[in-house]
Amino acid sequence: MPVRLRHVSLVLLAALFTARPASAAESPSPPVAELGVGDAIVLGMVEGVTEFLPISSTGHLIIANRILGLESERQLTDQAGRPLWHKPPSPKNPDGVPLTVKLAADTYAVVIQVGAIGAVVLLYWQQLFLMVGGLLGRSSAGLRLLRNIMLAFLPMAIFGLLLHEQIARYLFSIWAVIGALVAGAVLMLWAERWREARAGVGRAKGDAADIPARKALGIGLAQCLSLWPGTSRSMVTIVGGYWAGLGPAKAAEFSFLVGLPTLAGAAFYKGVQSGPAMIEVFGWTNVLLGAGVAAISALIAVKFLVHMITRHGLALFAYYRLVLALILTVAYLF
């Protein structure tokens, strides 16, 4: 299975990066700034474990990048000491966009999501085939499931594209993550009380294919909240699933499936935008390693989440978020 996952990651990543940046030589060259094997494994594990748990993968990756020292915004240079550019100065942009470790690390954190995508594809291939059957007119349930996934995905895609620059500029900080961790925890605890009052602990109601179109769209609009780093796309989607009448396990499953186009779109967009720069800085080897580790970690995390949320709901994850927010606050104040 790990070999297959690495193959999936290799194929998808190779499709993203076909062009090299203008500042790169035509022949292969060594990475500008080496990303250690240990760093690649840590980032892959953080991505894989946190992507589908309702605790915010983006928030944890921001924290991991800071701990690993991958936040430098100093412009990198080549072996001859010449400055390297992600986007060279031009008449429209006289300052250009310098090539930095932070730019490469931010791209890396998004691109290795390909591994997490592979994990969900392997675990939920039956639902994917059901949706293919829906497109071919062989399954009305598959067609409804596909409709609901797209309705839940589109608002996130639209607002993500419109607000990408502002989010990257103003919200990728520890304090933004701390605020989102706390707010998300409060929402999760409230959602659990609401669910228990309405349906009883662990009582499932319906399937993702049975959600009305307007409620699927409502989940998509709610998912836009996860554009704030630290909120958690998985958490918002699961809470939205509660409101749409799904039980914990079915809400989690819907979150995984909605994550496929969301994560794939983000990885493709970021890869096209700054993937070549990431490769120039870190090289290919550890990018593939990070994606492979993310895939294996995500396989374990998805099964863990379904088990935990079926037995205990979201409360334990909410308490984890509050403890993490407290630790981060103390660490950065003192």
Q: How many domains does the chain have?
A: 1
236-263 as b/e, with b when 16 or more CB fall inside 10 Å? Answer: bbbbbbbbbbbbbbbbbbbbbbbbbbbb
- 134 touches 69 (CB < 8 A): no
Within 10 angstroms of residue 324's Cβ, the number of other Cβ atoms is: 21
Dist CA 142 CA 117 (whole Å): 20
Q: What is the DSSP string of 224-261?
A: GGGGSTTS-HHHHHHHHHHHTT--HHHHHHHHHHHHHH
Helix/strand/coil for 85: strand
pLDDT at 168 (0 to 100): 77
pLDDT in tens, the chain (334 residues): 444 434 434 433 444 343 334 343 334 456 666 688 899 999 999 999 999 999 988 889 888 988 898 988 888 887 778 888 888 999 888 888 898 998 899 899 999 999 999 999 999 999 999 999 999 999 999 999 999 999 999 999 999 889 888 887 778 788 888 999 999 999 999 999 999 888 654 455 578 999 999 999 999 999 999 999 889 999 999 999 999 999 999 999 999 999 999 999 989 988 998 999 899 888 889 899 999 999 999 999 999 999 999 999 999 999 999 999 999 899 888 7
List 83's β-bridge partners, or say none: 77
- 54 touches 232 (CB < 8 A): yes
pLDDT at 16 (0 to 100): 37
- 212 touches 144 (CB < 8 A): no
Helices (H), 17-124: 37-50, 57-67, 101-111, 113-123
Residues 6+ apart with CB under 8 A from 262: 153, 156, 157, 223, 233
pLDDT at 13 (0 to 100): 41
Q: Which domain holds residue 194?
A: 2-21+30-333
